[in-house]
Amino acid sequence: MRIDVVTIFPDYLAPLELSLIGKAREQGLLDVRVHDLREHAHDRHRTVDDSPYGGGAGMVMRPEPWGEALDALVASAPDAAPPRLLVPTPSGMPFTQAMARDLAAEPWLAFACGRYEGIDERVMGYAAQRMPVTLVSLRDYVLNGGEVAVLAIVEAVARLLPGVIGNAESLVEESHEDGLLEYPVYTKPASWRGLDVPDVLLSGHHGAIAAWRQAQRVERTATRRPDLLPPD
Ligand code: 6GU
């Protein structure tokens, strides 16, 4: 999979060189390219923002650098279909595990990181005439820009790509893969600072362990995320 990220803070994406994502890149499973939007700003101060028409607080990202940056992405692979464009914004669709699975099936993703009050709306309109565009949110709080959201989304997607995670089973037994939160986990020692691992996990009784884990999942989900349980 190829992933392009356009941002005014390329250094923000440095963590994509680490850990499983970094290894996937070294192995050629993932081709991540980070681009500085200011390469496409041509005035002396390499300006990318301006005040909003109609007034209001903050600054808006001007369309011209974005238009050029997106044209350059498309032109970089003239024989390929254009990328699917993701625009992280608190006003986007909620990002979910289902969306991560959907994105993991794409050959090419591009991310447009907004800062300030956002990107001139015409950029999304222009892009949508050329490629699929999805506005995506990490839910209901405000970040300063899209970069941290890109880190989260790329990690959630990349770990689903074949070969990125060694143990494919660990992909299945996960919170949000089947609608319930994950069960609690324990390792050695069996007793630690007066706290004991639940007896059932030491029993060797696989049926009892599976039943206990399932009950824990339901209980946790009811307590922490009742919205995930089916209405009764
Ligand atoms: Cl995707 N972007 C920004 N700037 N803030 C957010 C977000 C995204 N998701 C939640 N808050």
Instruction: State in Å: Cα 144 to ligand 1 middle.
Output: 8
- Which whole number is the average pLDDT over 6-25? 95
Helix, strand, coil % over all residues of the chain, rounded to 5: 40, 20, 45
DSSP string, 119-181: B-HHHHHHHHTTS-EEEEE-SSS--SSSHHHHHHHHHHHHTTSTTTSS-THHHHSSTTTSSSP
pLDDT (0 to 100) of residue 171:
72
Q: Would you call 193 exposed, middle or buried from its count of C-beta atoms within 10 A (0-12, 13-18, 19+)?
A: exposed
> What pLDDT, in 10s, does the model give residues 156-190?
999 999 999 877 667 777 778 788 999 999 999 99
pLDDT confidence of residue 176: 82
Strand partners, 7: 36
Q: What are phi and psi of 28, to 5 degrees?
A: 80, 10
Q: Check residue 51 and give its pLDDT.
A: 97
> Taking 80 as the threshold, does the pLDDT of residue 40 lie above it?
yes
**pLDDT of 111 higher than 80:** yes
Q: How far is the CA of 77 from the centre of ligand 1 (A)?
A: 29
Rounded distance between C-alpha atoms, residue 17 and residue 42, angstroms:
29
What pLDDT is recorded for position 140? 95
pLDDT at 165: 86
As a whole number, the mean pLDDT across the chain is 95
Q: Please state, for a pLDDT cut of 70, what percent of the chain lies above it.
A: 99
What pLDDT is recorded for position 232? 77
The mean pLDDT value for 66-92 works out to: 98
Residue-level pLDDT at 96? 97
- Residue 210 above 80 pLDDT? yes
Q: How many CB atoms lie within 10 A of CB 121?
A: 10
Ligand 1 near 118 CB (within 6 A)? no
What is the rounded CA–CA span in Å between residue 124 and residue 172? 35
Looking at residue 75, its pLDDT comes to 98
Which position has the higher pLDDT, 115 or 50?
50
pLDDT at 225: 97
User: CA–CA separation, 59 vs 12, rounded Å?
Assistant: 20
Residues linked to residue 103 through DSSP beta bridges, in sequence order:
none
Confidence of residue 52 (pLDDT cuts 50, 70, 90): very high
User: Whose Cα sits closest to atom 2 in ligand 1?
Assistant: 89
To test the pocket of ligand 1, the residue of 142, 144, 147, 155 to mutate (highest count of ligand atoms within 8 Å of its CB) is 142
